[in-house]
Amino acid sequence: MKRTIGTIGVLTSGGDAPGMNAAIRAVVRAAIQRGLRTVGVEHGFTGLLDGCFLDMDLRSVGNILQRGGTILGTSRSPEFMTEEGRLRAADQLRRAGIDALIVIGGEGSFKGAAKLEEECGIPMMGIPATIDNDVYGTDFAIGFDTAVNTAIEAIDRLRDTAESHGRVFFVEVMGRQTGFLALEIGLAGGAMDILVPEFTDDFDHLADLLRDSVGQGRQSSIIVVSEGDKAGGVFQVADQVAKRISIDYRVAILGHIQRGGAPTARDRILGARLGAGAVHGLLHGRSGCMVGEVAERITVTPFPETWQRVKSLDAELVELMRELSG
């Protein structure tokens, strides 16, 4: 049985990611196309609890495609994690006449959305947006491609200095407990090696690579370290290597610049596809799911799978990194 949906709500939650605005725009435009009303919820679940609603029309989403961050604002809400909080949220949704809610964020946000749907019966649909790309059920989360490009642009700059001085740079990138960012940044940035949480660090091997590279007359190298690496961070990694081989090195932590900036084409198109896909899904009676992109096609994955199943690094890319690096 299809539900009758007249009004769709949309919110962004968790860490901001470039392309969230493309997704918001697509939700609003796809909904308007089908004669639906759209309501934006400001400041994520915090704003939902407080009833921060905003009627969205074509002008609300004009000229936002190229902007980083999220025009709706975002937050992390401890209160929403309580049942009492969620009761209040459900109440706010009903009072605002919202028949279904689209949540743009990461797995933490989907956990909240899944509970809320379970408890209040209002259909929920998730859209993965996190630069870390650590959500099962999609090859790419919104924001990941932009973050990789921002990081390699930074590495291109570091390489200028590395080459000029004949130096090694240890570069820490984001990614929480996963190495998705580090792997693609390492490959695209021409890194000598990457250190990621998924694999055990082998400092002896790294020192050997550096020794070989100096032997071949090359003085400068980039080593990419994931923030979640077990060594404890980029300084620890550099220390371990410097114990084994004498090198002139510097450390760079890319930090929050990886989050912002105008989204790449890929993130804008992904936002468009998933935003429209979420609206289509709701109208076809789907809920409790996340829309994603797998092997270039739009898919849906039940919420619980997005955090229960583990997304692994692409084995072919890991192999390729090993083959081309050093």
Residues with catalytic roles: 132
Stretch that binds its own copies, among 104-112, 202-210, 239-247, 315-323 (CB under 8 A): 315-323
Question: CA separation (Å) from 176 to 26, 70, 104?
Answer: 28, 21, 19
Q: Which secondary structure element, helix H or strand E, spans residue 128, and what is its range? A: strand 124-128
171 touches 223 (CB < 8 A) = yes
E-assigned strand segments in 3-66: 7-12, 37-41, 53-56
Q: Report the alpha-carbon distance of residue 14 to residue 189 in Å, rounded.
A: 28
Stretch that binds its own copies, among 71-79, 84-92, 109-117, 235-243 (CB under 8 A): 71-79
How near is the Cβ of 192 to its own copies at its closest, in Å? 11
Q: Does 190 contact its own copies by CB under 8 A? A: yes
Q: Does 205 contact its own copies by CB under 8 A? A: no
When binding is defined by CB under 8 A, the residue of 67, 88, 244, 311 that contacts its own copies is 67
Q: Does 269 contact its own copies by CB under 8 A? A: yes
When binding is defined by CB under 8 A, the residue of 41, 49, 53, 74 that contacts its own copies is 74
Residue placing its CB nearer to its own copies in the complex, 220 or 303: 220
Q: Does 273 contact its own copies by CB under 8 A? A: yes
108 to 137, contacts with its own copies by CB under 8 A?
none
267 touches 143 (CB < 8 A) = yes
Could you tell me the two tokens for 53?
């609603």
34 to 63, contacts with its own copies by CB under 8 A?
43, 58-59, 62-63
Q: Look at phi and psi of residue 298 and say left if phi exceeds 0, alpha if psi is from -120 to 50, else beta.
A: beta
208 to 227, contacts with its own copies by CB under 8 A?
216-218
